[in-house]
Structure 1
Amino acid sequence: MKRTNLVLTARVVALGAALTLGVSQAQLMGTPAQLAAQPALKGFAAQGGLLVSGGTRVTADVAGGRVVGVLVEADSVDGLARGLGAGWNVAEKDLPKLTQNLSNPALLAAARTGYVDLTDDSGTDLIALKVTGTGSATRYLGYVAVKIWPDSAFPPVKAAVGTAGAPNVLRVFSDFQCPYCKQLWDSSMRDWRAAPASFRVVHYEFPLSFHRNAQGSAEASECAGAQGKFWAFADQLFANFATWTPLDPKDAPAKYAGYAKAAGLDTAAFKTCVGQRTFRADVDAQMKAGVGVNVQGTPTVFLNGMKLRNYSDTAEVAQVRAVTTATPGAAILIDARLKLFR
């Protein structure tokens, strides 16, 4: 697999096309029946586990009853567009435009070596393309799938709660001064923490630059974590959200010390830690890791490696749990397919 500046060109041309065609959400995570009924696959016939029309074959990768990937093997760009269009939920009237974009020379040149890239900056889906042969023997291989980030994409941190062997791992990128993060803390976070056998929750710092007390509170929470009191201290921060968030940054540490005392910390050690900014580099590293997995704002929640569009949507959470804990799971199916493009 080769990633060059052509990959970015391909993303802008091919994937941006899907977005400009009005695709608000991919068909991915729908059922196989819903995929087969996509307008882009009109005229395709079911043959075993395939959907076939002429020289185009479409295969759905299914985990937990949901489509997690769509593989397209085609002898024409039009066939490739129909298969990918089904994965993107493209309307039939928009297929010519998608075909035009997929015919871009820069895209086809990049696909000669094969590549895998994210479909857009949200980082929820991926695409892979490969072109082989020449002339009438040219063949097109395409794949769209949900993006599942491996554990290695997330650095180890002390702020984790729940059974280590819990079947569901929630990774939360949060900013203590973010009002939406407080909403999460007071709702879904409370429920997840109350079910430690089902959910392991891992917290990552992602202080936003326009929140003037975000960096300081993040570093303070890491100081609390060093004493094994991250969660108790974080509870205090959010419980007193309206008190400390409006303060001048130079006045906030005094409040943090009070919250540390209420959380049962050694306040002298805590004050030294905060004053020396002991965990500044750790906070920056977590922020960098978040950027690496396409975190764009807070809160951002990953469940078993999949970014949730809406953490409070119980149906979405149930679907993600189903596809990631199935046997074989979505990650295994997708990784196996991606080997075709390397």
Structure 2
Amino acid sequence: MSNQRKSKGAFWGILGAVAVLGVIAIAYVTAKPKSRGATEVDLQADPTRARGHLLGDSTAPVQVQEFADFECPACMQFATLTEPDVRKLVQQGKISYRYFDFPLDMHRNTWEASNAAACAEEQGKFWEMHDALFANQDRWNGEATNNPKPVLKDLAQGVGVDVTKWEKCYDEQRYRPQIAENRAEAIRRHIESTPTFIIGNKILPGAMGIDEFTKHVNEAAAAAPVRPATPAMGPASGIPGARKDTTGARK
């Protein structure tokens, strides 16, 4: 009887060890970092339907699209560390840059931030508000407050908008349909994380440094068809960076 108990105990001990090893193996596989994988999209055959927010000349040789969430830490990292250099490419006329809101469900205040930025755009201050939101993300995000409006209002005032007009727009949620369109575009493109970029015809997930970003821009420029020369255009107005939208809203 004693030997039988020992045998059963050994059996269950081995089974338990196997189960533990299995859990460890699964955890290792799911926790392994994934390498950046680029997929391709044909924007001529399947053009972007949402408007987004444009920086630069829409006829620039390379079109860049960013799908981002104002409350996303990786988006904040890109916006504060890499994007200042990206804007130099915009000013040089090498790229146009279009930002699409992709508010994720996990972030409590991101819709409010997108609404705040869209209402600032109504007064020509989208990119200033974009920068202020990312630079002050820790003041208004879901971990900091359940009511982001006072901070967002303070940031709007700081970038120089008419706060009375901005607040009316904000309270009306005037641009929520546009934000929803931008989000729907991300879903239609099968984009699953933020930030994700479309540079030329490549979909590239994850924040990146300026060297990698420039490499993708150069590859897209080399692959683009040669276009006939057009008369030089005057500088577009707007701060920060040159800004001109010749496409208008696309519904």
Q: Please state how far the C-alpha of 1:315 moved relative to its aligned partner.
A: 4.8
Q: Please state how far the C-alpha of 1:153 moved relative to its aligned partner.
A: 2.4
Q: Please state how far the C-alpha of 1:193 moved relative to its aligned partner.
A: 1.1
Select which of 143, 147, 152 maps to 2:47: 152
Match of 2:62 in 1: 168
Rounded Cα–Cα distance in structure 2 between residues aligned with 1:256 and 1:191: 26
Select which of 83, 86, 91 maps to 1:192: 86
How far does the alpha carbon of each residue in 1:196-242 deviate from its partner, in whole angstroms, 9 at most, with x for none?
22221111100111100011111111111111100001111111111
Question: Unpaired segments of 5 or more residues in structure 2?
Answer: 1-33, 227-251
2:126 is the alignment partner of 1:230: yes
Report the AA paired with residue 182 of structure 1: M
Rounded Cα–Cα distance in structure 1 between residues aligned with 2:151 and 2:157: 10
- 8 Å contact from structure 1 (residues 176, 217) kept in 2: yes
2:216 is the alignment partner of 1:322: no
How far does the alpha carbon of each residue in 1:43-94 deviate from its partner, in whole angstroms, 9 at most, with x for none?
xxxxxxxxxxxxxxxxxxxxxxxxxxxxxxxxxxxxxxxxxxxxxxxxxxxx
Worse-superposed segment, 281-290 or 187-196: 187-196
Report the AA paired with residue 153 of structure 1: T
2:170 is the alignment partner of 1:274: yes
Question: Unpaired segments of 5 or more residues in structure 1?
Answer: 1-23, 27-121, 126-145, 330-342
How far does the alpha carbon of each residue in 1:238-276 deviate from its partner, in whole angstroms, 9 at most, with x for none?
111111113434x21111111111111010011111111
SS of residue in 2 equivalent to 1:152:
coil
SS of residue in 2 equivalent to 1:182:
helix
- 8 Å contact from structure 1 (residues 166, 198) kept in 2: yes
Select which of 219, 236, 243 maps to 2:115: 219
Select which of 92, 95, 105 maps to 1:209: 105
Report the AA paired with residue 256 of structure 1: L
Distance 1:316 1:269, change over 3 A: closer
Q: Please state how far the C-alpha of 1:317 moved relative to its aligned partner.
A: 4.6
From the two aligned structures, give the one with the greater strand fraction: 1
Rounded Cα–Cα distance in structure 2 between residues aligned with 1:209 and 1:187: 25
- 8 Å contact from structure 1 (residues 173, 299) kept in 2: yes
Q: Please state how far the C-alpha of 1:180 moved relative to its aligned partner.
A: 0.4
Report the AA paired with residue 318 of structure 1: K
2:137 is the alignment partner of 1:241: yes
How far does the alpha carbon of each residue in 1:162-185 deviate from its partner, in whole angstroms, 9 at most, with x for none?
233322221111111110000010
User: Higher relative CO (CA 8 A, sep ≥ 6), structure 1 or 2?
Assistant: 2
Match of 2:198 in 1: 302
Rounded Cα–Cα distance in structure 1 between residues aligned with 2:57 and 2:41: 25
Q: Which runs of 4+ in 1 moved over 6 A?
A: none
Rounded Cα–Cα distance in structure 2 between residues aligned with 1:328 and 1:257: 45
Distance 1:289 1:327, change over 3 A: closer
Q: How does 1:1-342 map to 2 (within 5 A)?
A: 124-125=38-39, 146-150=40-44, 152-157=47-52, 159-195=53-89, 196=91, 197-245=93-141, 246-249=143-146, 251-309=147-205, 311-312=208-209, 314-315=211-212, 317-319=214-216, 321-323=218-220, 325-326=222-223, 328=225
Match of 1:79 in 2: none
How far does the alpha carbon of each residue in 1:16-48 deviate from its partner, in whole angstroms, 9 at most, with x for none?
xxxxxxxx889xxxxxxxxxxxxxxxxxxxxxx
Report the AA paired with residue 243 of structure 1: R
Report the AA paired with residue 59 of structure 2: G
SS of residue in 2 equivalent to 1:291:
helix
- 8 Å contact from structure 1 (residues 308, 317) kept in 2: no
Q: CA RMSD in A?
A: 2.5
Rounded Cα–Cα distance in structure 1 between residues aligned with 2:70 and 2:94: 25
Worse-superposed segment, 167-176 or 282-291: 167-176
Distance 1:324 1:294, change over 3 A: farther
Distance 1:253 1:325, change over 3 A: same
